[in-house]
Amino acid sequence: MAATWTFAVARDDLARTTLTEGTTPAVADGEALLRVDRVGLTANNITYAVLGDAMRYWEFFPPAAGGLEQQWGLPPLWGFAEVVESQVPGVEAGQRVYGYLPPAGHLLVRPDRVDATGFRDASVHRAELPSPYNAYRLTTGDPAYRADQEDLLILFRPLFFTSFMLADQVVDNDFYGAQTLLLSSASSKTAYAAAFELHGRGPRLVGLTSPGNVEFTRSLGCYDEVVSYDDLGTLDAVPTAYLDLSGAPATRAALRGHLGDQLVRDVAVGLTNQIPNAAAAEEVFFAPVQMRKRRQDWGRDGLDQRFADAWQRFAKVVTGWIDVRVGSGPADLEQAWQEVLTGRTPPRVGHVVQL
């Protein structure tokens, strides 16, 4: 058997990591082996680890598969993989797929619902986990795929899907009756992608960000106004919907104190500063819920095409907003993890690792 590797983090201390070596698993009937090829690392992946227990993200890639004990976790990554061996009709060696991948050299999957667009991993341990994370899209059957956009897809696709569905839910709810949509962590990819989708469609868009990121965030051009957290008290007291991607309790408290009953909606979207915010908000946005609604409204093909159209609009402009930093091998993956975990990655930089 060929050698493989697994990168893991301590579940109780995300800065503590380990890299183990092993052998690739044998492929039984009904299974396929993927070689993890190219992945990205963003604050989104840190969120998966922070919420690993609460949202069951640790369960997608059990540490035992890499010869590790339960104290370790494999934070999920998004990226591309290649089918290297298959015992499933319709899944062929050489096919390239995009999806949820472990920080490891290989992934053994049990493909189900195989069609021209790809397949789902029907492995027993993933059966009760959120289904969108179990889908693997063939590059040949994906309307959003362009070979020259792979790094953008790696860095932005899962975030942009969240942004796309968040914007869609806001529009679907008539902007919650707000005159202003206020987004925290406005320099983050998920926030500014949502702002890109919402800009010019309704209420005034205001981005909240740290003082050091104000200039970058303004340069994007997708917010009507950018305000530092320090200047939150200057916000106009008009009906405002708060889309919280930061999870910072102090920001929420200050906002409620300043706006009072003019804060007409408070939605927790993410955890870019790693502080759980769901309990304090009025509601939590979970992209798969809106996705299921739109699949019923539009059908799967309709949703795929709307997403692809929105993605192509976004891809045309985001190339000017991001500097892709490409690493190579597990050591660079570990280095990127530490940089993103400690907040040392500038908002313009996106980490991609070729494995």
Q: Do 131 and 162 belong to one domain?
A: no
Tell me if 48 sits within 8 A of 341, measured CB to CB.
no
Lowest-confidence segment of 50-59, 127-136, 163-172, 276-285 by average pLDDT: 276-285
Q: Do 19 and 83 belong to one domain?
A: yes
Cα 276 to Cα 272: distance, rounded to the nearest angstrom: 9
Tell me if 207 sits within 8 A of 188, measured CB to CB.
no
Confidence (pLDDT) at 184 = 95
Q: Do 170 and 88 belong to one domain?
A: no
Q: What is the CATH number of the domain that holds 212?
A: 3.40.50.720
Indicate whether 298 belongs to any domain: no
Tell me if 109 sits within 8 A of 88, measured CB to CB.
no
Residue 128: count of CB within 10 angstroms of its CB: 9
Q: Do 73 and 128 belong to one domain?
A: yes
Q: Do 128 and 178 belong to one domain?
A: no
Q: Do 15 and 136 belong to one domain?
A: yes
Residue 40: count of CB within 10 angstroms of its CB: 27
What is the tally of structural domains in the chain? 2
Tell me if 290 sits within 8 A of 278, measured CB to CB.
no
**Arithmetic mean of pLDDT, 119-123:** 97
Q: Do 21 and 131 belong to one domain?
A: yes
pLDDT digits (tens, 9 = 90+) for 254-294: 999 999 999 999 998 865 444 455 667 778 888 888 989 99
pLDDT digits (tens, 9 = 90+) for 143-172: 999 999 999 999 999 889 999 999 999 999
For residue 268, what are the domain limits?
A: 157-288
Q: Do 8 and 136 belong to one domain?
A: yes
Q: What is the CATH number of the domain that holds 118?
A: 3.90.180.10
Indicate whether 296 belongs to any domain: no
Confidence (pLDDT) at 341 = 96
pLDDT band at 94 (very low <50, low <70, confident <90, very high): very high
Given 288, 311, 331, the domain boundary residue is 288
Contacts of 243 (CB under 8 A, 6+ apart): 166, 170, 181, 182, 183, 184, 191, 194, 267, 269, 285
Q: Do 240 and 179 belong to one domain?
A: yes
Q: Do 330 and 284 belong to one domain?
A: no
